[in-house]
Amino acid sequence: MGAGGTAKAISFILNENSIKTTILNRSKDRLDFFEKAGFENFSWDNFEIKKFDIIINTTSAGLKDETFPLNEKQLLKLMLKSKYAFDVIYGKSTPFLKLAKKNSLLSKDGSNMLLHQASIAFNLFYQKKHNLDIIENYMKKSFFL
């Protein structure tokens, strides 16, 4: 869900790994990029609930408020047909994650994504001189205090 930069990055890496990806965005305005790239995409107006392995929220919904990335009733129907929910927002139990947990859907926030990005950035800063596993181990100690 969402059609910004995070959705672009995630959808392309999934696609590169032969994982079929569907993009859902509130409006059609930002879907042209995904359509040209060959992704199945929908706006809220034409989306039909179907089965998905994972739902990924890449929107800012729930970051500073109690909003959902999709109409709550539609989101609940979607979650009931899915296996896993992931929210790129970290450090907060968003309404999206709360709804997933309430309905016994496996879920995770974006903290590990942030940790991996930070580890890679740190290593790039030091000209790839360090082992990523060691960097992540040290970062985990301070990140999850």
Question: Domain check: are 18 and 79 in the same one?
Answer: yes
Q: What is the CATH number of the domain that holds 87?
A: 3.40.50.720
Please give the model's pTM, rounded to 2 decimal places.
Answer: 0.87
pLDDT band at 105 (very low <50, low <70, confident <90, very high): very high
Question: Domain check: are 105 and 119 in the same one?
Answer: no
pLDDT of residue 144: 59
The pairing of beta strand 40-43 with beta strand 52-57: unpaired
How many folded domains does the chain comprise? Answer: 2
What residue numbers bound the domain in which 63 lies?
5-109
- For residue range 30-89, what is the model confidence (pLDDT) as tens digits? 999 999 999 999 999 999 999 999 999 999 999 999 999 999 999 999 999 999 999 999
Long-range contacts of 114-121 (CB under 8 A, 24+ apart): 114/90, 114/143, 115/139, 115/140, 115/143, 118/143
